[in-house]
Amino acid sequence: GESVGLHLPTLSVQEGDNSIINCAYSNSASDYFIWYKQESGKGPQFIIDIRSNMDKRQGQRVTVLLNKTVKHLSLQIAATQPGDSAVYFCAENKGDYKLSFGAGTTVTVRA
C-alpha cells in the first residue's frame, strides 16, 4: 500500500539530549521525503528534505537519514531545546504534486 507511518506517536526527551524520530514508508516510487514541524496553533513548518538518491542530509542541528533498503527515514535533532517541542511529520512526495503524510510524533522536551 501507499502509506507513510511513524514508529512512535510520542517522544519525551531531556533538554540537551539528542532526539531521533523515525518513519517507515512503503512506496518505493517516492521521489523525495520531507520532515515538517507543527507547533500548536500553527501550520506545518518545513525542516529538511532528502531526495531518494541520497542517504543523508544535514541542516542546522538536524540530520535526516534515508535507508531505502528497509524503507526507513529518520530525523535526528541535536541538543534538543524547549522550542523543539512540537509534532513532527514525515511526508512523502512521488512527484505528483501532492504530499502523503505520516501520523506524526509528538516531541516533548523536559527541562
Partner 1 sequence: KAGVTQTPRYLIKTRGQQVTLSCSPISGHRSVSWYQQTPGQGLQFLFEYFSETQRNKGNFPGRFSGRQFSNSRSEMNVSTLELGDSALYLCASSLGGPSDTQYFGPGTRLTVL
Binding site for partner 1 (CB under 8 A): 31-32, 34, 36, 41-46, 49, 89, 91, 93, 95-104
What is the closest distance, in whole angstroms, from the C-beta atom of residue 49 to partner 1 in the complex? 6
What is the closest distance, in whole angstroms, from the C-beta atom of residue 36 to partner 1 in the complex? 8
For every residue of 11-70, DSSP letters joined together read EEEETTS-EEEEEEE--TT--EEEEEEE-TTS--EEEEEEETT-SEEE-SSEEEEEETTT
User: Which of 77/89 has CB closer to partner 1?
Assistant: 89
User: Which of 27/100 has CB closer to partner 1?
Assistant: 100
Give the CB-side neighbour count of residue 81, counting CA atoms within 13 A.
4
User: Which of 42/70 has CB closer to partner 1?
Assistant: 42
What is the closest distance, in whole angstroms, from the C-beta atom of residue 39 to partner 1 in the complex? 10
User: Which of 13/102 has CB closer to partner 1?
Assistant: 102
What is the closest distance, in whole angstroms, from the C-beta atom of residue 26 to partner 1 in the complex? 16
Query: Where does residue 96 fall: left (phi above 0), alpha (psi -120 to 50 degrees), or beta otherwise?
Result: alpha
Residue with cell 520532515: 35
